[in-house]
Amino acid sequence: MTTKKFNFRLVPLILFVLLLAVLLKGLFSDPRERDSALIGKAFPQFQLPDLYDDSKQHTEKTLLNEAVLINVWGTWCITCKYELPYLAKLANEYDVKIVGLYYDQNYAPEFGQFADIPAIRVEVKDMLARLGNPYQYNILDLDRSLSLNLGVTGAPETFLVDANGIIRMHHMGDVNERIWREKLAPIWNEINQ
């Protein structure tokens, strides 16, 4: 009789252990780590100027025919400074095609804030000369319209786009050796076989 009866005294202990498991999991999980809504979708349409040359326009079609890493960055972004040397290494040593999407965070005409493009160009040249230049070219997303369509939350973020223009991976945060090996390289190698 007594062995069959559920011991209700154990309930708080069981609840405590469950809570402990949930909290412990939370302790070691990265809250920024979440599935992007864009994986498997086509790269959104856009028409934006080159960072160095206003007359040169880039569209989603210029990205086609070759797998490419789109790196969202800005000179204002501290983490980007730490990832630039590694990206440069990827570009130079592993022949990874990297295109920059320059994300300016000041430009907001609705609030009367405009960006100083010549100053940005000087800053970019200076920074790339110091830390290494991984970019084949940079797209200037001044009003962050393409970034919004890409679900970009800030910089740095990196997209892996295949030759057909399909987004295969969206990584928020910096690309380092660990991220490249675990997250990006498997897909990169798969689509470049």
Partner 1 sequence: MKKLTVLFSLMFFVCVANATEDQITFKSEQQKSTYLELTAELRCPKCQNQNIADSNAVVAKDMRVKVKALLDEGQDKEQVIQYMINRYGQFAHYQPPLNVATSLLWLMPIGFILFAVVLQVKRSKSKNDVNVSETGAVQLDSGQLDRELELLLESNTLDGSSVDNSSKDNKQ
Give contact residues for partner 1 (rule: CB under 8 A).
8, 31, 34-38, 105, 108, 110-111, 144, 147-154
Q: Residue 98 and residue 91: Cα distance in Å, rounded?
A: 7
- Closest contact distance (angstroms) between CB of 129 and partner 1 is 27
- Closest contact distance (angstroms) between CB of 122 and partner 1 is 22
**CA neighbor of 117 nearest in space, from 164, 57, 172, 52:** 52
- Closest contact distance (angstroms) between CB of 39 and partner 1 is 10
CB nearer to partner 1: pick between 35 and 93 = 35
Amino acid at 35: D
**CA neighbor of 99 nearest in space, from 91, 110, 89:** 91
Judged on CB neighbours under 10 Å (0-12, 13-18, 19+), 102 is buried
CB nearer to partner 1: pick between 1 and 129 = 1
- Closest contact distance (angstroms) between CB of 7 and partner 1 is 12
CB nearer to partner 1: pick between 90 and 140 = 140
